[in-house]
Amino acid sequence: MSDSEAHWRPRTYWKAGTQVHVDVDVNGVAAGEGVYGQHDREIDFQVGDAHVYRVDARTHQMKVFSNGELLRTLPVTTGKPGFETRNGVKVIIEKFDVKRMNSETVGIPAGSAEAYDIDDVQWAMRLTYSGEFIHAAPWSVGSQGSANVSHGCTGMSPAHAGWLYAMTRRGDVVETVGTDGDDMTLTNGYGDWNASFKEYREGSAL
């Protein structure tokens, strides 16, 4: 990813129940400018259920899968012209039961026709560092399932968003298709799945 950051992923999405052991052997490793690693670290964890959420901006629907089973199909809205949602594979980065959303943080100036400042957006799940979320959007319920009216986020009703939020964990996968927006990149969030495994291996230090 860079001279100071290393990532690792399998060929395909992690299999539910996989036992993972991470051994970070950095004690004494030079980090530059006289700084050296102080501690090795070992971590063990188990991969949870395989949650994959498939968003189609053309049909305005999200299909929610758990371990390959379709649980629900939810009506959604995605980014409108000029603010299109990114295509590609995204991963839930962080979750907020309530989040303030201000258009200035994504380059839309206060006082402009597209400006917004909402203090209490519920069930917000971040997908990109640049500001894409899945969240409750009660103001657009009338368009969900039929039109794309957001500034790039994937919006749904509070009831649907609350249900999804309750089952979602950081690392769950969101696949977005059918928009006229840019493609997802490797670094705007946890974007590793947007490289083919061949490309990923070509960048390997192993």
Domains and CATH numbers, the chain: 51-192 (2.40.440.10)
Band (206; pLDDT cuts 50, 70, 90): confident
Task: Work out the angle at residue 59's Cα, subtended by the Cα atoms of residues 57 and 65, and round it to the nearest 5 degrees.
Answer: 85
Q: For the chain, what is the largest distance between any 2 Cα atoms, rounded to a whole number of angstroms? A: 59
Q: Quick check: is 153 catalytic?
A: yes
Q: How far apart are CA 137 and CA 124, in angstroms?
A: 10
Catalytic option among 51, 60, 151, 153:
153
Catalytic option among 51, 135, 151, 160:
135
Write out pLDDT tens, residues 99-140: 999 999 888 999 999 999 999 999 999 999 999 999 999 999
Band (5; pLDDT cuts 50, 70, 90): confident
The yes-or-no verdict on residue 198 having pLDDT over 80 is: yes
Task: Work out the angle at residue 42's Cα, subtended by the Cα atoms of residues 39 and 44, and round it to the nearest 5 degrees.
Answer: 155
Candidate from 6-10, 21-25, 66-70, 193-197 with smallest mean pLDDT: 6-10
The yes-or-no verdict on residue 2 having pLDDT over 80 is: no
Q: How far apart are CA 104 and CA 1, in angstroms?
A: 29
Q: Quick check: is 135 catalytic?
A: yes
How many C-beta atoms surround the C-beta of residue 155 within 10 A?
A: 27
The pLDDT score that the predictor gives to residue 88 is 98
Which pair of structure tokens corresponds to residue 16? 């539910």
Look over the chain and give the mean of its residue pLDDT values, rounded to a whole number. 95
Residue 201 parent element (H or E): helix 197-202
Residue 197 main-chain phi, psi, to 5 deg: -65, -30
Q: 63, exposed or middle or buried, with CB in 10 Å at 0-12, 13-18, 19+?
A: middle
Which pair of structure tokens corresponds to residue 79? 């980014």
Average pLDDT of the segment spanning 6-16: 92
Percent of all residues in the chain with a pLDDT value above 90, rounded to a whole number? 88
Q: How far apart are CA 60 and CA 66, in angstroms?
A: 20
Identify any residues that bridge with 42 across adjacent strands, giving them in sequence order: 23
**Number of residues that make up the chain:** 206
Q: How far apart are CA 92 and CA 173, in angstroms?
A: 7
Write out pLDDT tens, residues 158-183: 999 999 999 999 999 999 999 999 99
Q: How far is CA 68 from CA 49, 102, 143, 198, in A?
A: 10, 36, 28, 25
Write out pLDDT tens, residues 32-64: 899 999 999 999 999 999 999 999 999 999 999
The pLDDT score that the predictor gives to residue 3 is 75
The yes-or-no verdict on residue 16 having pLDDT over 80 is: yes
Band (149; pLDDT cuts 50, 70, 90): very high
Band (203; pLDDT cuts 50, 70, 90): confident
Ranges assigned E (strand) in the chain: 19-24, 30-32, 35-36, 41-46, 51-56, 61-66, 69-75, 88-91, 94-102, 117-126, 133-136, 154-156, 173-177
Q: What is the pTM of this model?
A: 0.91
